[in-house]
Chains A and B, each alone.
Chain A
Amino acid sequence: MICEPVIETFGLSKSYGGFEAAKDLTFQVLGPRITGFLGRNGAGKSSTIKMLLGMIRPTSGTATVLGHRIDDAKQSLEIRRKVAYVGEDKGLYAYMTVEQLIWFTRSFYPDWRPEIEKRLLEEYQLPPRRKVKALSKGMRTKLALLLALSRRPALMILDEPTEGLDPVSIEDLLRTITSITADGTSVFFSSHQLNEVERIADAVLMIDRGKLVLNFAMDELRENYRRVTVGFDRSAPSIDLHLPGIERVRSDGRQLSVLASRNSDAIVEWARRCSATSIDTQPVSLREIFLDTVQMGPEATSSR
């Protein structure tokens, strides 16, 4: 698989008055892959996405999407032509019927694919003559996806696509996302559903309070991240925090819990040299990483 950056940011920042929504974000998103974009509410996910799409201007820094600069008017237009975006509110005209809206949207895109439109209309079982305002939330999401995918975009950006959907609709949506990449389209989606992200994502980008905190491939997480829990029959010795791969250490009397992003063997080795009485190594789920990485709330800022 040849991976090329579809999104690249360089010190991207956005502040609203005194509030910094995005702080000095520098990262790469590779394609054609599925990348999950994680962070708590208000962490800066939507602001970042809006900057990439040219909907708001960065305060400083810049970015490229599919090789086009976001701060150049002409190139930004090109970005919007090649990127499909499905946002939280879906932005559909409520008073139109499904077929009117499809017809209306189609007129804006010269490379519209009628065969994809037809296939998805059937697959999603959307009622062509029903008004958009009378559609369920799940159907509205499917309609937004149909409009986005019929353009055969190079990159699809979704902002919390599964929000408010029932389990069956979520499964349908995830299935659609996995099939998008089969056609060479890259997917960048924000979500709070960590088990969904864990299943379908090839890579994960995590931000917290406007800052980038993690950017890794899911295979890397599965292969290298480990939680090593070490027990002693006396109070636990302090671990050399400079051992490579140590992300977080918690200690509780005679026990130590170490989160390692790699190199867990060295930690086990260390524990053995300190004659630990029990050593247990477990793989780490995305949920654990998330909870361990993002700060728990304003009152807990000093706990790290």
Chain B
Amino acid sequence: MLFKLNPSAGQPLYLQVMQQVRYAIETGVLQDGDLMPGIRTLAEELVVSHNTIAKAYTELQHEGWLELRQGLGAFICTRQLTNKPERVRVAQKRAREFVALLRADGFSNDEIQRFLEAEILFPTEAVRK
């Protein structure tokens, strides 16, 4: 799978890796039994610290999204996923409608993106008189 990490985002890199794996699972890009690259390989590919990937994999394993089999590698595990793709489709539809609504109010894509980011990263802080 393809990762895109942002070193200056206000979020640890291992969390970014975890999130992207979870999202790929939810959208079906990663499927049950898929083999993930080794920790070392992925760290070198993304040019980030080995510890970053090791931490992400360990946490994903704790959450049950990844199964580490000794000597074989890390495999995607989607047993806990029930009906997610349908839920994801509904959520995506909602997001689409919401964005369309804001566009209709005359906000640009950039502005909408900033609203959403602010709301996600710092949920309580968007005050304006």
The interface of chain A, by Cβ under 8 A from chain B, is 1, 32-34, 171, 174-175, 178-179, 181-182, 195, 198-202, 218-219, 222-223, 225-226, 233, 265, 268, 272, 275-286
Contacts and interface: CB of A to CB of B under 8 A. Distances in A.
Nearest to B122: A281
Nearest to A223: B12
B64 to A, nearest CB: 21
B25 interface: no
Interface string B34-47: 00000110011001
Nearest to A287: B8
**Chain A CB within 10 A, most for which of B11, B49, B54, B121:** B49
Interface of B: 7-14, 39-40, 43-44, 47-52, 54-55, 118, 121-122, 124-129
Nearest to A32: B51
Contacts, number: 88
Given A178-B49, A277-B128, 7 more contacts: A179-B43, A179-B50, A181-B50, A195-B7, A201-B49, A222-B11, A283-B8
Closest 5 interchain pairs by CB? A283-B10, A219-B12, A285-B8, A182-B50, A182-B40
Nearest to A282: B10
A275 B51 CA distance: 43
Nearest to A1: B51
Given A198-B8, A219-B12, A1 B54 contact: yes
Nearest to B38: A182
Contact of B44 (A178, A202, A265, A276): A178
A199 B45 CA distance: 12
A178 B43 contact: yes
A181 B8 contact: no
Contacts of A276: 127
Contacts of A226: 10
A202 B51 contact: yes
B125 A34 contact: no
Nearest to B126: A279
Contacts of B44: 175, 178-179
Given A272-B127, A281-B122, A199 B47 contact: yes
Nearest to B14: A219
Interface-central residue, B13, B50, B54, by most chain A CB under 10 Å:
B50
A268 B7 contact: no
A178 B47 contact: yes
A200 B45 CA distance: 12
A174 B50 CA distance: 12
A275 B127 CA distance: 10
Q: Name the residue in B11, B47, B55, B129 with the highest tally of chain A Cβ atoms < 10 Å from its Cβ.
A: B47
Contact of B43 (A182, A195, A225, A281): A182
Contact of B9 (A182, A200, A222): A222
B129 A277 contact: yes
B7 A275 contact: no
A283 B52 CA distance: 19
Nearest to B12: A219
A148 to B, nearest CB: 18
Contacts of A282: 10
